[in-house]
C-alpha cells in the first residue's frame, strides 16, 4: 500500500495575546484521505488553532508546511483558499439570498462567451453534490430556504469546488439530528476516498471514535498526545482533556445552607426538556455541560426571557409565572449574562446608569436621582475594585473583567435573593476572576442563592455545593460536592455515562 502524502504539517506553532501565551509549541499533521480529530475542553485552544489555520490570527512562531512546501509569510483567508485549506465554521457563511449553485461557484463562475453559463453550472453542481454523496438538493433553490444540515453540506460542496485539499470542520453536527449526522458521516467517507484530509473538531466523542484515523488532545493551548486509531480509548482521552487538579484552582468554604428557596419541576421549552431541580438558601448550584447543552436556554426560562411550554417554577413555596424579565426581578431574581456586550450592559452609557438599571425595574424612572446614583456607583466602584475613570465613563471603554463587575454592581443594587451567573468569568483575567469569586462567596454568606452556569471545569468544581450536568437540553446527573470531579462531569457531558 503506497504511503500517504502529508498535506499539512504544523511544527511548533505558538500564539500570544497581550503578552499571555494561549497556544504553545503545537505540532499537528494531516495526511491525504485521513480524518484527524482535535479534542479538548472549552477554552483548550481549539478555536485559536482554527483561526491560525484560517488566516484570522497570525502565528507568533512555528512553521506551516503545505504538501512539503514551507509557507513563507503570513496566512490570510484568500491565501488559505489558494493553498487548498477550507474551514467549515459552526456559523453559516453562505450568501443566504443566492442559490446553491451561485454559492458554489463564487469566484469560479462558469462562462460562455462572457455570459454566465447557468446550464453548465447547474450540471456541475449536481455532479459535485453527487460526488460527496448528497442527493435531492435543487441547485437553484435560495440557500435561505435550506435547513441547517443542508447548508452545511452546501458549504462542504463549495470547499470541494474550490479544490480544497484540507477541510476543517468545527462542530459540524452542533444542531444536527440523527439522520443528518449519518448523512455527514457518509459525506466524510466520500471525501476521504477522494484523498481530502479532514480536521474534525467535536465535543461528541461517539462521532470522534467512529470516524477518526487519529485523535489529538489539546489542553491549555498545548498538545497533550496524539492517538492512532488503534490506540483510541475513551477514558484516556477524557483524562487527557481534563488533566487539571481543581483543588489547586480555588478553594471556597461552604456557607450555611438553609431551606429551599426555588423549586423547578418538569420545565420544558426553548430547547430545554423536562428539567427539575431545587435551590437552597446560601447554596451555589453549578450547571456543567458542553456548548449547546441548553444551560443558557434554561436560565432564560427561569428569568422570564422565554416562556416555558410546560412545567412549574416555585419561589419560596409559591408558584410563579414570569412573562418578562421585569417580573423575575420583582420576585428577587438577578441574572449576570454570558454576553456582556449584547444583553448585560448598555456599553455606550455611563457606569452610573448601568448600576441603577436593574433597580429601576422595581421602581419607576421618576424616582431616579442623578447625584444619588453617582454616589451609589462610586460605592460599588470601590467595593468591587472596578478600574475606571469614574461613574461618568462609558462602559465600552472598560476591560472585560471590569465590565463584568459593572453588571454585578447593577444586580447588587437591586437587592435580589437568587442570582443566576451565566459564564461569570468568561473572558476575564485571573485577578478579575478572584474578585468575582469573592463576591459570590459574600453573597452566599448573606443568605443569597446562586445558580452558576460555567464551562470552566475547575471553576464549577471549586465553587459549587452541588453540580447538575446537562446535555441536549436535559439534566443527566446531579452530583454532590464530594462526587463532582472532572472526569465524572465530563463523562456525563460527553456521552451520558460514567467511566
DSSP letters spanning 52-67 = HHHTSS--SEEEEEET
Classify strands 310-315 and 115-116 as parallel, antiparallel or unpaired.
Answer: unpaired
Report the chain's mean pLDDT, rounded to a whole number: 83
Beta strands in 141-281 (DSSP E): 166-170, 197-201, 214-219, 222-228, 260-269, 272-280
pLDDT number for residue 408? 75
Assign 393 a pLDDT band (cuts: 50, 70, 90).
confident
pLDDT number for residue 206? 82
Q: Which of 10-14, 386-390, 396-400 has the lowest average pLDDT?
A: 396-400
Tell me if 474 sits within 8 A of 294, measured CB to CB.
yes
**pLDDT tens digits for 175-202?**
676 678 888 898 899 899 999 999 999 8
pLDDT number for residue 213? 96
Alpha helices (H) in 386-485, listed in sequence order = 400-414, 430-445, 457-463
Query: How much is the average pLDDT of 138-158?
Result: 88
Q: Grid coordinates representing 450?
A: 446562586
pLDDT higher than 90, residue 470? yes
What is the value of pTM for the model shown? 0.62
Assign 285 a pLDDT band (cuts: 50, 70, 90).
very high
- d(CA 157, CA 133) in angstroms, rounded, equals 10
**pLDDT tens digits for 234-250?**
888 888 887 754 444 55
Domains and CATH numbers, the chain: 6-242 (3.40.50.300), 254-495 (3.40.50.300)
Helix axes 234-242, 486-495, angle to 10 degrees: 120
Tell me if 53 sits within 8 A of 80, measured CB to CB.
yes
Tell me if 329 sits within 8 A of 414, measured CB to CB.
yes
**pLDDT tens digits for 333-391?**
998 875 544 444 544 444 444 444 444 444 444 444 566 667 777 776 777 777 777 77
pLDDT higher than 70, residue 228? yes
Higher pLDDT, 489 or 361: 489
Give the chain's count of helices (H) and strands (E): 16, 22
pLDDT number for residue 497? 45
For residue 306, count CB atoms less than 10 angstroms from its CB and return exposed for 0-12, middle for 13-18, buried for 19 or more.
middle
pLDDT number for residue 71? 87
pLDDT number for residue 496? 55
pLDDT number for residue 350? 43
Residue 466 CB partners (closer than 8 Å, separation 6+): 283, 285, 286, 478, 479, 480, 481, 484
Beta strands in 18-155 (DSSP E): 20-31, 35-39, 61-66, 69-70, 85-88, 111-112, 115-116
Q: Which of 113-122, 134-143, 394-403 has the lowest average pLDDT?
A: 394-403
Query: How much is the average pLDDT of 432-437?
Result: 76
pLDDT number for residue 201? 92
pLDDT number for residue 354? 43
CB atoms within 10 A of CB 35: 25
Residue 38 CB partners (closer than 8 Å, separation 6+): 28, 46, 49, 199, 200, 201, 215, 216, 218
Q: Is the dihedral of CA 233, 236, 238, 240 positive or negative?
A: negative
Closest CA to 134 of 159, 109, 169: 159
Amino acid at each position: 500500500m503506497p504511503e500517504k502524502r502529508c498535506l499539512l504539517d504544523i511544527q511548533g506553532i505558538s500564539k500570544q495575546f497581550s503578552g499571555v501565551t494561549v497556544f504553545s509549541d503545537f505540532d499537528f499533521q494531516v495526511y491525504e484521505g485521513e480524518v484527524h480529530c482535535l479534542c479538548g475542553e472549552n477554552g483548550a485552544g481549539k478555536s485559536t488553532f482554527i483561526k491560525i489555520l484560517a488566516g484570522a490570527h497570525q502565528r507568533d512562531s512555528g512553521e506551516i508546511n503545505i504538501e512539503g512546501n514551507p509557507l513563507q509569510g503570513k496566512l490570510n483567508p484568500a491565501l488559505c483558499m489558494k493553498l487548498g485549506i477550507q474551514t467549515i465554521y459552526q456559523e453559516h457563511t453562505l450568501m443566504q439570498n443566492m442559490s446553491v449553485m451561485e454559492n458554489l461557484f463564487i469566484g469560479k463562475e462558469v462562462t460562455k462567451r462572457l455570459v454566465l453559463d447557468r446550464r453548465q453550472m447547474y450540471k456541475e453542481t449536481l455532479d459535485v453534490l453527487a460526488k460527496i454523496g448528497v442527493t435531492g438538493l435543487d441547485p437553484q433553490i435560495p440557500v435561505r430556504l435550506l435547513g441547517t444540515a443542508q447548508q452545511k453540506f452546501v458549504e462542504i460542496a463549495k470547499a470541494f469546488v474550490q479544490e480544497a485539499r484540507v477541510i476543517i470542520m468545527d462542530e459540524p453536527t452542533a444542531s444536527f439530528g440523527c439522520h443528518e449526522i449519518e448523512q455527514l458521516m457518509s459525506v466524510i467517507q466520500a471525501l476521504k476516498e477522494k484523498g481530502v484530509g479532514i480536521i474534525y473538531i467535536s465535543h461528541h466523542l461517539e462521532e470522534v471514535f467512529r470516524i477518526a484515523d487519529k485523535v489529538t488532545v489539546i489542553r491549555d493551548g498545548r498538545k497533550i498526545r496524539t492517538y492512532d486509531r488503534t490506540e483510541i480509548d475513551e477514558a484516556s482521552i477524557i483524562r487527557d482533556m481534563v488533566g487539571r487538579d481543581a483543588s489547586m484552582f480555588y478553594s471556597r468554604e461552604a456557607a450555611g445552607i438553609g431551606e429551599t428557596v426555588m423549586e423547578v419541576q418538569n420545565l420544558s421549552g426553548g430547547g430545554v426538556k423536562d428539567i427539575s431541580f431545587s435551590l437552597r438558601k446560601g447554596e451555589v448550584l453549578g450547571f456543567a455541560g458542553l456548548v449547546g447543552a441548553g444551560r443558557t436556554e434554561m436560565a432564560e426560562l427561569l428569568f422570564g426571557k422565554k416562556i416555558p411550554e410546560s412545567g412549574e417554577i416555585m419561589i419560596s413555596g409559591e408558584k410563579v409565572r414570569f412573562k418578562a424579565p421585569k417580573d423575575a426581578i420583582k420576585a428577587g431574581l438577578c441574572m449576570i449574562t454570558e454576553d456582556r456586550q449584547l444583553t448585560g450592559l448598555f456599553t455606550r452609557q455611563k457606569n452610573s446608569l448601568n448600576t441603577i438599571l436593574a433597580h429601576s425595574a422595581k421602581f419607576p424612572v421618576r424616582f431616579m436621582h442623578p447625584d444619588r446614583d453617582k454616589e451609589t456607583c462610586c460605592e460599588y466602584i470601590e467595593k468591587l475594585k472596578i478600574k475606571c475613570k469614574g461613574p461618568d465613563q462609558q462602559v465600552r471603554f472598560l476591560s472585560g473583567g471590569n465590565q463584568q463587575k459593572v453588571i454585578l454592581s447593577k444586580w447588587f443594587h437591586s437587592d435580589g435573593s437568587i442570582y443566576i451567573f451565566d459564564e461569570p468569568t468568561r473572558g476575564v483575567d485571573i485577578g478579575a476572576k478572584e474578585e468575582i469569586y469573592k463576591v459570590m462567596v459574600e453573597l452566599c454568606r448573606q443568605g443569597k442563592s446562586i445558580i452558576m452556569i460555567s464551562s470552566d471545569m475547575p471553576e464549577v468544581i471549586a465553587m459549587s455545593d452541588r453540580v447538575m450536568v446537562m446535555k441536549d437540553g436535559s439534566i443527566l446527573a446531579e452530583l454532590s460536592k464530594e462526587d463532582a470531579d472532572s472526569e465524572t462531569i465530563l463523562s456525563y457531558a460527553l456521552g451520558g455515562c460514567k467511566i
